[in-house]
A and B are shown apart, each in its own frame.
Chain A
Amino acid sequence: MNSQNSKKTILVYVEDDENSILVMKMVVERVMGLPTLHVLQSSADFVQRVKGLGVMPDVFLLDIQMKPYDGVELLSMLRKDPQFKCSKVVALTASVTNEEVSLLKSGGFDGAIAKPLNIETFPGLIAKIMNGEPVWYIT
């Protein structure tokens, strides 16, 4: 997690729950030692606002239960834009139902990570995703 690769990783987190944002910021910036976590607290004007960040995200972490667009809708917006064709998109979900998992898989996510985060394993999962391995760490 302290490798050269990970340090360069640019993460964008789309989440409306403040506590979750705070946890993720501490995990990314303090535990993983990455410079910054880019956060979007609403899914409105999503693509425009991502572009407004002025960075090329390596990994999008999308909360599934977002408003006005949910994670699945955000994914399809990203997939339609050729600018983000190299970006990985991972779903963060609190519900662990099978229907959702299959929906996320068929929807074209590169992986899904269950909430609450397991802080000990999370950095390893991000590294896996950066290596192009699908990650379905649901439980």
Chain B
Amino acid sequence: MQVKSSIIWRMLAWFLLLALIPLGAVVIFVQRQVNQTVLDVELRAVVREARLHAAESAYHPDAFEEHTQIYQGTEEIAFILRTDGTYQTHTDRQKIGASARNDFAPDILQSFFSAESGSLDNGAAGQIIGYAAIPGQNSAMVIVKDNQAVINNLNSLSRSIFLQLSVILLITSIVSGVAILAVINPLRQLANFADQVGSGNLDATLDQTDLEGEIAVLAGSLARMTARLRDLIYNLESKVKERTRDLEIAAQVSRQITRVLEMDSLLPELVEKTRQGFNLYYVSLFLYDPQKEELLLEVGTGKEGALIKSEAKSFPISARPSLVAQVARERKAEIINDITKSDIHFFNPHLPEARAEAAFPMLVGDELVGVLDLQSETVGRFQAGDSQIFSTLAEQIAIAVRNAQLYRQQEHVAQELERADLMKSQFLASMSHELRTPLNAIINFTQLITMGVAGPVTDEQVTMLNTSLSSSRHLLQLINDVLDISKIQAGKLSLYIEEDVNLNEEIKAAVDMAAPLLQKQNAELEQPIQLIQDIDHDLPLTACDRRRIRQVLLNLLSNAIKFTEQGSITLSAKNKGEEFIFAVMDTGPGIPQAMQARIFEPFVQATNDIKHTQGTGLGLPISRSLVQAHGGELWVESKMGEGTTFFFALPYRPSMTQ
């Protein structure tokens, strides 16, 4: 808040206004009293004068001439008036014998003879008149004085008094104003200063050069107070800054350690960051081996660190005297602020400048991971506040080291697994190649012989060759299925999605491929089973892996054919908008409820019947996985003695470009 100078001027104006009005009134009142008094005195004086002159004139006829000479050349006039109203004599000689009626009003003339003596105030003419009867004569002595001059004199006197008083008042006012300013200005300065300090500007300065007396004392106190406040606050600030910086470094180091999981790259960086951040001489980490109950230097900062590590040997946790071992044993931080006064500090010739040492246990819960050791070149470097920060830091490092150790283990396991997985993949790939190549030769040569390419074959031979051929194909299918299921179990099954696949074509292809199986089955049956098709024509083109969809359909159809000995098989395919629903329904023996879930597990079959165990036992799990990989689902509904229906839903995926 600023003390405004205008206030002072306003105060001064008010002061003048309030002082001058009564002053004027008093002056006017006094002037009136004085005027009255002066008038009275003059009136009495003029009567006395008139009587005196009258008395003299009574005895000395020439007295008038003598005595009235004093009036010559003045505004005053004197005359002797006869009762007839003419001047017997007059200071203005020209008027002698003239009538006074021209000079005075009749009532005034009359009053000259109304009493022996008297006076009157002829205010209208500005005159005072004294008169006295001259004894023994019928005349009166009259003296007329110009009262205006007196009044003027008095007025000018009061004016001058008023003026002088005003001047005095003004001077007093100015002087007091200046005096007030002289007090107020420094107060204003003080107020401004206090105001600045109050609003937080502790660097505000107070100019004390012009200050005197109590104000100077006050200013001095205020300035000293501010200086102390400033010291306190700045001190506090620098302390807070220091703490904040420490915490920031700790946080930085912590962030670093949560990022880096590789211990080899983590720890050297960690100790170096700590050393630089906290301006230390040397920082090292000892790791604890719980099996051997030993500590070993893991890393130290700088060249010294490398040097010391190259010479370091593990030492038991029970070693004495040793600060690090003690801290590890007691799981409690220890500070040696002056190593010359300690008997447990180990003097290392590589660290000649060490003066103070502090060690902090690295704990994860109750478990000791190691010890963080700090050395400083400054005696008394480690204070209570530091201890908190370093303890926290040591805990953070402990967690990081533990994580890194776990990561290392984990990595090892992961590498092993990866290697095993690679071997499995390689095995499968080579099995695929090595098993198929001879099998391909068997199949192809058998086919060629059957076709008579190598010479005529008998019907019996053809039958045998066909059995050999179908067995070989079965074996090949088994190999393919094992490869598929391996991929599914390894999560490596990938689809080859093509746009705009015509499902009607794929269904036809699957039916064509199943047809020979059905023929073969029917050849052994008295009542051939029918394959009924209930298929929506013009199923919309959709994106899918058509070879895999065909594989699923063929698998379901061949299963149905295998297990159905009477009745029929119905293949249906319906467009349900969002998805296609396929169903393969048979009138076979049905699958017991308990088996319905298990048939989707690899190598499980619903029956142990030799005739029916021709399959690989992998078809259904593979089919289900293939449908699921398309985002669909495959399921079974069955009733014992009535038949089984396998359904699968395939999501409709129209072409992007349509």
Contact = CB atoms under 8 A, between A and B. Distances in A.
A116 B495 CA distance: 23
B432 A19 contact: no
A23 interface: yes
Contact of A117 (B438, B444, B480, B495): B444
Contacts of A102: 496
Given A95-B432, A102-B496, A139 B441 contact: no
B428 to A, nearest CB: 10
Nearest to B545: A98
A61 B294 CA distance: 69
B440 interface: yes
Interface string A102-139: 10000000000001110110000000000000000011
A19 B495 contact: no
Interface string B471-482: 000001000100
A23 B494 contact: no
Given A26-B448, A27-B448, A30-B453, A116 B440 contact: yes
A50 B118 CA distance: 174
A17 interface: yes
A17 B438 CA distance: 10
B508 to A, nearest CB: 15
- Counting contact residues on chain B (CB < 8 A from A), the size range is 20 to 34
B28 to A, nearest CB: 123
B8 interface: no
B448 A19 contact: no
A98 B437 contact: no
A32 to B, nearest CB: 11
B408 interface: no
Contact of A115 (B436, B548, B550): B436
A119 B436 CA distance: 16
Contacts of B438: 19
A122 to B, nearest CB: 10
A72 interface: no
Contacts of A101: 496
A26 B550 CA distance: 31
A31 B437 contact: no
A96 interface: yes
A98 B544 CA distance: 12
Contacts of B440: 19-20, 23, 94, 115-117
Contacts of B453: 26, 30-31
Contact of A65 (B433, B445, B451, B545): B433
Nearest to A18: B441
Contacts of B604: none
Nearest to B440: A116
Interface in A1-37: 17, 19-20, 23, 26-27, 30-31
B496 A116 contact: no
Given A20-B440, A98-B545, A119 B447 contact: yes
A116 B476 contact: yes
A65 B432 CA distance: 12
Interface residues of A, number: 23
Given A95-B433, A115-B436, A23 B496 contact: no
A95 B484 CA distance: 11
A116 B439 contact: yes
A69 B455 CA distance: 38
Contacts of B445: 19, 23
B547 A119 contact: no
Contacts of A120: 447
A139 B547 contact: yes
Contact of A99 (B439, B480, B494): B494
Contacts of A139: 547, 550-551
Nearest to B435: A94
B443 interface: yes
Interface in B422-476: 429, 432-433, 436-441, 443-445, 447-448, 451, 453-454, 476
A138 B547 CA distance: 9
Nearest to A105: B496
A16 B440 CA distance: 14
B448 A98 contact: no
Contact of A20 (B437, B448, B495): B437
A95 B545 CA distance: 17
A93 to B, nearest CB: 10
A116 B494 CA distance: 23
B424 to A, nearest CB: 16
Contacts of A138: 547
A20 B436 CA distance: 11
Interface in A55-113: 65, 94-96, 98-99, 101-102
Contacts of B429: 95
A111 to B, nearest CB: 15
Contact of B443 (A27, A95, A98, A116): A116
A40 B439 CA distance: 22
A23 B433 contact: no
A98 B549 CA distance: 13
Contacts of B437: 17, 19-20, 94
B327 to A, nearest CB: 59
Nearest to A102: B496
Nearest to B443: A116
A119 B451 contact: yes
A115 B442 CA distance: 12
A128 B441 CA distance: 25
A19 B441 contact: yes
Interface in B537-564: 545, 547-548, 550-551
A98 B447 CA distance: 27
B492 to A, nearest CB: 10
Contacts of A65: 433
A99 B453 CA distance: 36
A136 to B, nearest CB: 9
B296 to A, nearest CB: 50
Contacts of B496: 98-99, 101-102
Interface in B555-585: none
Contacts of A99: 494, 496
A94 B432 contact: yes
Contacts of B447: 119-120
Nearest to B550: A139
23 contacts: A19-B438, A19-B440, A23-B440, A26-B448, A26-B454, A94-B437, A94-B440, A95-B436, A98-B495, A98-B547, A98-B548, A99-B494, A102-B496, A115-B436, A115-B440, A116-B439, A117-B440, A117-B444, A119-B447, A120-B447, A138-B547, A139-B547, A139-B550
Interface of B: 429, 432-433, 436-441, 443-445, 447-448, 451, 453-454, 476, 480, 494-496, 545, 547-548, 550-551
- Nearest 9 A/B pairs, CB to CB: A98-B496, A19-B441, A116-B440, A23-B444, A116-B443, A94-B436, A119-B447, A30-B453, A115-B440
Given A95-B432, A98-B548, 19 more contacts: A17-B441, A19-B441, A19-B444, A26-B454, A30-B453, A31-B448, A65-B433, A94-B437, A96-B480, A98-B496, A98-B545, A101-B496, A102-B496, A115-B436, A115-B440, A117-B444, A119-B444, A119-B448, A119-B451
